[in-house]
Amino acid sequence: MRLSDSIESFIKTMLTQDEPEVELKRNELAEYFNCAPSQINYVLATRFTLDNGYVIESRRGGGGFIRIVRVVRTGSQKLLYLIHERIGDSISEGECARIVAQLKEERLLTEPEAALICAAVSGSALSVPMPEPIKDAIRAKTLKAMLTSVARQNRESAVHALTQNG
């Protein structure tokens, strides 16, 4: 088991049941896990990102702390955030994959949808002689267009549910 994974699950254990927020001391945690303090930052930066649904606040100096807050966003908020802020004009295949995996985890994408998106931005879909930066630009646009389609579908099905029920 990787150190990072241990630290990640330790923190997530603290965050579980109806406790959406936890505060910790970087140095204490590092000592507990017998590692460099900056290791904690690494775990936060790779496992507790905004994309993953967490916000980090911290303070230095005496009585300093790191606070990890789990944030809940509705599906459409999340999609809009991704489309308009997170995904810029250019994105790599790996980064795409990470975003899609995360959305699948959060059940905002079904398995087939996720696979479809990955296929559309995969290397094989773009295996045309063309500089990499342009491929990344196409990836960004394709990903945004597809997520927009999903967002629209969600909206329509919500409307549909409403008309059904009332």
Tell me which residues touch DNA (CB under 7 A): 2-5, 24-28, 35-43, 46, 56, 58-66, 92, 94
Among 36, 145, 159, 161, binds a second copy (CB under 8 A): 145
Beta strands in the chain (DSSP E): 21-24, 54-59, 65-70
Contact partner, 83, from a second copy, DNA, none, Cβ < 5-8 Å per class: none
> Shortest gap between Cβ of 8 and DNA (angstroms)?
9
Shortest CB 60 distance to DNA, Å: 3
Residue with tokens 């696979």: 115
Shortest distance (Å) from residue 145 CB to a second copy: 4
Lookup: tokens for 74: 């509705």
Residue found by looking up tokens 């100096």 in the block? 61
Question: Interaction with a second copy in 35-64: which residues (CB under 8 A)?
Answer: 62-63
Which helix (H) or strand (E) segment holds residue 82: the answer is: none
159 CB-near residues (< 8 Å, 6+ apart): none
Cα separation values, 86 from 51, 59, 96, 129, Å: 8, 26, 11, 28
In Å, the largest CA–CA distance within the chain is 58
C-beta of 2 vs 17, nearer to a second copy? 2
- In the complex, minimum distance from the CB of residue 126 to a second copy, in angstroms, rounded to a whole number: 6
Contacts with a second copy, residue ranges (CB under 8 A): 1-2, 5, 62-63, 110-113, 115-120, 122, 124-128, 130, 134, 137-138, 141-142, 144-146, 148-150, 152-153
